Amino acid sequence: MKIAFFDSGIGGLSVLHHAMKILPSEEFIFFADEDNVPYGTKSREEVLSFVDAAFKFLIAQGVGAIVVACNTATSVAVKVMREKYPLPIIGMEPALKVGLDAFPNRKVLVAATAITITGEKIRRLIKNLRAENLAELKALPNLVEFAERQEFNSAAVEKYLREELANYDWENFSSMVLGCTHFNYFKDTLRKILPPHVKIFDGNAGTVNELIRRANLKSSPTANRQSLTIYYSGREVIDAAELARLEKFLRRLDKMEAIE
């Protein structure tokens, strides 16, 4: 099956990276809306129009399923896209349930973009999990821009995170949930800042499991026959230097995936 992974930028590569490991025989498209990144600072109307344009392009490529590998786009647009397009559409959801299940009755910090943490979707998730007294929300918008320029563990990144997270009493928290796929590139810096008992969770595995279920796929250890085509806002990426840059993102994700 031809499966599309869509994001505002390169954050969604972290979800694709996980999918490529457990679905070795599928055909993948990755669509990064680099003309309009970041989504987290845009209006909901703008994000909805960007997502719809991307969906029209991807469906024209013959995809059989689309993973919206972007928490912001999921929050704003997935419900509308599912009503409009008749194919499996899988969105991202912050792994709040994972954190709550791992450490019942302990607080969880959900870090995301501003548009995600002010959205109805995250509020509904918290209510459904009866986590009103356990979930706290924190916007870390600058991480998206750091990630897009491959600045992952610089002094500026560490300073930003230390300042933004300084006021939390971490003894009251069990975990931090990364509610933006761009944030997955910063697990090593976060691990340096957070106390050892605070675990780091993301929604990649849950999203890919939902893709397998909704698209009736099978995860198997067969020989690797998969292919990957990458588009920036509808333009195929064929430049060798840019492909090498993207490969660096994927190699970093190899390291980040093991960090908890």
Last residue of a domain, one of 162, 179, 202: 202
Judge if 61 and 72 occupy the same domain: yes
Check: CB of residue 13 under 8 Å from CB of residue 246. Answer: yes
Q: Specify whether 111 is located in the same domain as 194.
A: yes
Q: For residue 247, what pLDDT is reported?
A: 94
DSSP 1: -
Task: Give pLDDT tens digits for 119-173.
Answer: 888 999 999 999 999 999 999 999 999 999 999 999 999 999 999 999 999 999 9
The predicted structure's pLDDT at residue 220: 65
Q: CB of 30 within 8 A of CB of 8?
A: no
Mean pLDDT of 90-100: 93
Distance in angstroms (rounded) separating the CA atoms of residues 29 and 230 = 6
Using DSSP, state whether 256 is helix, strand or coil.
helix
**Judgement on whether residues 100 and 193 belong to the same structural domain of the protein:** yes
Q: Do 107 and 162 lie in a common domain? A: yes
Identify whether residues 87 and 185 lie together within a single domain.
no
Q: Which residues are catalytic?
A: 70, 180
pLDDT of residue 121: 87
Percent pLDDT > 90 in the chain is 83
Q: Could you report the per-residue pLDDT of 50-71, keeping only the tens digit for each? A: 999 999 999 999 999 999 999 8
Neighbours of 128 (CB within 10 A): 10
**Are 103 and 185 contained in the same domain?**
yes
pLDDT value for 100: 95
Domain enclosing residue 55, as ranges: 2-91+205-256
Question: Tell me, what's the pLDDT at 224?
Answer: 58
Contacts of 196 (CB under 8 A, 6+ apart): none
Q: State the Cα–Cα distance between residues 32 and 231, nearest whole angstrom.
A: 6
Give the 3-state secondary structure of 18-56: HHHHHCCCCEEEEEECCCCCCCCCCCHHHHHHHHHHHHH
Which comes out higher in pLDDT, residue 24 or 85? 85
Q: Which of 175, 202, 229 is the last residue of a domain?
A: 202
Residue in this structure with the two tokens 């969880």, named with its chain if needed: 108
Residues 243 and 175 in one domain: no
Per the structure, the count of domains in the chain is 2
Judgement on whether residues 23 and 146 belong to the same structural domain of the protein: no
> Per residue in 1-28, is it b (16+ CB within 10 Å) or e — as a string?
eebbbbbbbbbbbbbbbbbbebbeebbb
Domain identity same for 127 and 105? yes
Stretch 105-126: mean pLDDT, rounded?
92
Domain boundary among 162, 184, 202: 202
What integer is the mean pLDDT of 179-204?
A: 96
The pLDDT value recorded for residue 25 is: 85
What pLDDT is stored for residue 222 in this prediction? 57
224 in the same domain as 136? no
The reported pLDDT for the residue numbered 232 is 97
113 and 150 in a single domain? The answer is yes
Q: For the segment 206-233, what is each residue's pLDDT rounded down to a tens digit?
A: 999 999 999 999 876 555 567 999 999 9
Q: What is the predicted pLDDT for the residue at 24? A: 85
CATH number at residue 246: 3.40.50.1860
Interval 234-241 mean pLDDT: 96
pLDDT of residue 57: 98
Q: How far apart are CA 160 and CA 107, in angstroms?
A: 23
Mean pLDDT value across the chain: 93
Verify that 191 and 114 share a domain, yes or no: yes
Average pLDDT for 65-80: 94
